[in-house]
Amino acid sequence: MLSVMAKKTAQDDPLAPVTLAVGQEDLLLDRAVQEVVAAARAADADTDVRDLTPDQLQPGTLAELTSPSLFAERKVVIVRNAQDLSADTVKDVKAYLGAPAEEITLVLLHAGGAKGKGLLDAARKAGAREVACPKMTKPADRLAFVRSEFRTLGRAATPEACQALVDSIGSDLRELASAVSQLTADVEGTIDEAVVGRYYTGRAEASSFTVADRAVEGRAAEALEALRWSLSTGVAPVLITSALAQGVRAIGKLSSARGGRPADLARELGMPPWKIDRVRQQMRGWTPDGVAMALTAVAEADAGVKGGGDDPEYALEKAVVAIARAARSGRR
């Protein structure tokens, strides 16, 4: 069964009538969904799964999806971003919570903030099984996540190896989970710091993209810290400007794209679906003017590291600060 590193209620049956996944950590939200779907399909291989966004769940839609069937088929109905549901649809969901249908599992994904709190409270009052999926902002949380991943896969990893992996990969849980999976598949026996070092430590693309991620998220201090670490480990400045350019361009592409599912946008923009989800999180606070300012800053840094300036490190620091400031331009 898929591991969800999250605090759950005592009612921990994935086939409970209602599962409430609360938080903003995309990987954990996805795993909460996958756990329910896997349990449903283990009980009935023909389980019908409906995965809906708020715009697809109109008033009356839930009643249609959960109405009795002649064939009494098992069904999983997933509602993403439940905090964005319309008021009329929220009424439908609240009514359903009072009398959930047999053989149907409703999965509500909710960001957990003040928006849509009435639905959140109603689901809890109705006794929904709850899975907490909070953003892991602290290094200690990410370290605990890596340890949990190794345990779930039945493998031993030294504390130093887990720390080295977090230091090398950064804050993206999908990348951390993927790295753990790769190491356990490729390496026999206990995974130690030396093994992680051969695979990841000093990996230029990992460290340069960490700089870019923090910058486009508006986290200037963390971006500068990642930049100095990258430069101290020998990452070429040109790789960092390339990562910064890709990060800002991704923001620009997605902000001007038509709305839709990550898979559809991925095809349209030439990005993997997981990256669409990440960029969506990062683009909050960005404006078209901010993107233009950031692209100018990247171009200036690129010229600076390719011989147009005397101090490549200063050119990069200046660009990182400008990008972080641009990322916050729409929050004022």
Alpha carbon separation from 28 to 3, 134, 213, 297 (Å, rounded): 9, 8, 20, 35
Report the pLDDT averaged over residues 4-15.
Answer: 59
Same fold: 18-133 with 208-327 = no
pLDDT of res. 100: 92
Beta bridge partners, 105, equal 76
pLDDT of res. 165: 86
Does 4 or 158 have the greater pLDDT score?
158
What is the CATH number assigned to the segment(s) 18-133?
3.40.50.300
- The dihedrals phi and psi of 252, each to the nearest 5 degrees, come to -60, -45
Cα–Cα dist 178/185, whole Å? 11
Give the CA radius of gyration of the chain. 22
Q: What is the mean pLDDT of the chain?
A: 85
Report the pLDDT averaged over residues 9-34.
Answer: 87
Digit-coded pLDDT (tens) for 241-250: 988 998 899 8
Does 103 or 280 have the greater pLDDT score?
103
pLDDT of res. 262: 63
Digit-coded pLDDT (tens) for 120-141: 999 999 999 999 999 888 888 8
Report, at the CATH architecture level, how domain 139-200 is classified.
Orthogonal Bundle (1.10)
Kindly indicate the confidence band of residue 70, based on its pLDDT and cuts at 50, 70 and 90: low
Residue 44 has pLDDT above 50, yes or no: yes
DSSP secondary-structure letter at 269?
A: H
Report the pLDDT averaged over residues 175-204.
Answer: 81
Classify strands 18-22 and 129-132 as parallel, antiparallel or unpaired.
parallel
Which ranges of the chain would DSSP assign to H, the alpha helix? 26-43, 61-65, 87-98, 117-125, 139-152, 159-169, 173-186, 193-199, 204-216, 220-232, 237-256, 262-269, 273-282, 288-303, 312-327
Residue 9 has pLDDT above 90, yes or no: no
pLDDT of res. 230: 81
Two structure tokens written together for 45? 């291989």
Report the pLDDT averaged over residues 189-210.
Answer: 74
Does 158 or 272 have the greater pLDDT score?
158
Kindly indicate the confidence band of residue 8, based on its pLDDT and cuts at 50, 70 and 90: very low
- The type of residue at 82 is A
pLDDT of res. 10: 38
Beta bridge partners, 48, equal 75
Give the dihedral sign, CA 123/124/128/134.
positive
Report the pLDDT averaged over residues 153-176.
Answer: 86
Listed by start position, the domains of the chain span: 18-133, 139-200, 208-327
pLDDT of res. 316: 95
Alpha carbon separation from 197 to 163, 185, 193, 203 (Å, rounded): 11, 16, 6, 9
**The listed CATH number (1.20.272.10, 1.10.287.3240, 1.10.3720.10, 2.40.50.140) that belongs to domain 208-327:** 1.20.272.10
